[in-house]
Amino acid sequence: MNTRTSSDRPARRAGPEAQIPPDLFRQVFRHWPSGVAIVTSRLAGERRGMVVSSLCSLSAEPPLIAFSARRETRTHRVVEASGVFAAHLLGQDQVDLLRRFAGLDRVHDDERFAGVATIAAATGAPILPDAVAWIDCQVVDRLEGAGFTLFVGEVLAAALGSQADDPPLLYLQRTLRRLGPAIG
């Protein structure tokens, strides 16, 4: 597995004065819709999960996906140590599951999996079979950034879940959204 840090990257061409303010950066990306996913992992019986909107596919051959996680999250620690994760695509009717794994449901803050159906993936990562789809991965690369890690996973297994016919849950301008009618 590869691990890269900012010192491994080519030197920046523009100076600090060319950087945009963080608030402007956030404003720009609030106009970019993203799907909502839950990433789960397991290490020695400890199960962790978190909501991400940074999930993306990288390659179909070989099948690779990536997501980023802030270093201080509990899930980051487990993915880092175990080297495995599963990603789950959420449907528009799974807002309660999103709230639980986003830490907005304080009743389940210590055990987000309580009462949630799971099965074990080949990697040992907890799978949420009621998601729209799930993807089981082994970490094959990572890129360390300023306070976060971008994990790259090789897809070992994937399947459509029991909610596969549901439209996806979306996030745009700091609000959860539903997919609208097709335009073309």
Domain boundaries, the chain: 35-171
The upper half-sphere exposure of residue 40, i.e. CA atoms within 13 Å in the direction of its Cβ, equals 31
Contact 29, 10 (CB under 8 A): no
Which three-class secondary structure state does DSSP give residue 167?
A: coil
**SS3 label, residue 71:** coil
pLDDT at 2: 66
What global pTM score does this model have?
Answer: 0.89
Structure tokens given for 108: 């389940």
* Cα–Cα nearest to 153, from 23, 77, 76, 59: 59
Whether 173 and 36 have beta carbons less than 8 Å apart is answered as: no
Name the β-bridge partners of 144.
Answer: 149
Residue 107 has a pLDDT of 83
Contact 137, 1 (CB under 8 A): no
Q: What's the average pLDDT block by block, 10 residues per block, for the chain (184 residues)?
A: 60 66 93 95 95 95 97 96 98 95 86 94 96 98 95 98 93 91 86
CATH superfamily of 35-171: Electron Transport, Fmn-binding Protein; Chain A (2.30.110.10)
In DSSP terms, 155 is beta-bridged to 137
